Amino acid sequence: MPQKQLKPGKKIDKKQDAANRHGKTPVTRKGKYEKPPKKIKALELYQDEKEVSKAINKRNESSMAGVAEQKGGKLKMIKGPPPVLASKDRLKKDQKEKRAQAQKAKAAPPVEDMEEDD
């Protein structure tokens, strides 16, 4: 059944933003979503499934490349560049390296020149 028209004095309220966002826009997450499980048995199954899917993908790619060559062309698989570390990750890594260097410097006593007695 059709809906009636709104009465002249009434308005439709819009949804309010979530209270915990404080005016910030939602972040669109990009990249890898799958995370390996933490339990040992589940992790082993996860790794086995990944290996199987890699083998299947490799076989499919090689068969498609063969079909393309038979038809007179070439099929090249181009892989993208490795992911660049995010700035936060890079900063953490740099800080860890600086700490390690500082600890090495503290652990090794400074070499002093030996003074000769006359």
Number of domains in the chain: 1
Could you tell me if residue 116 is inside a domain? no
Domain containing 40 equals: 35-75
Going from the C-alpha of 29 to that of each of 33, 86, 100, the distances in angstroms are 9, 13, 33
Residue 18 phi/psi, 5° resolution? -60, 140
Place of tokens 């498609």: 64
Going from the C-alpha of 79 to that of each of 22, 35, 94, the distances in angstroms are 40, 21, 28
> In sequence order, which residues have a C-beta less than 8 Å from that of residue 47 and are 6 or more positions away?
36
Virtual torsion, Cα 59, 61, 66, 71, nearest 10 deg: 150
Could you tell me if residue 90 is inside a domain? no
13: three-class secondary structure by DSSP:
coil
Could you tell me if residue 80 is inside a domain? no
pLDDT digits (tens, 9 = 90+) for 60-80: 988 988 888 888 877 776 777
Could you tell me if residue 99 is inside a domain? no
pLDDT digits (tens, 9 = 90+) for 1-59: 677 887 888 888 888 878 888 888 888 888 777 888 999 999 999 999 999 999 999 99
Could you tell me if residue 112 is inside a domain? no
Could you tell me if residue 48 is inside a domain? yes
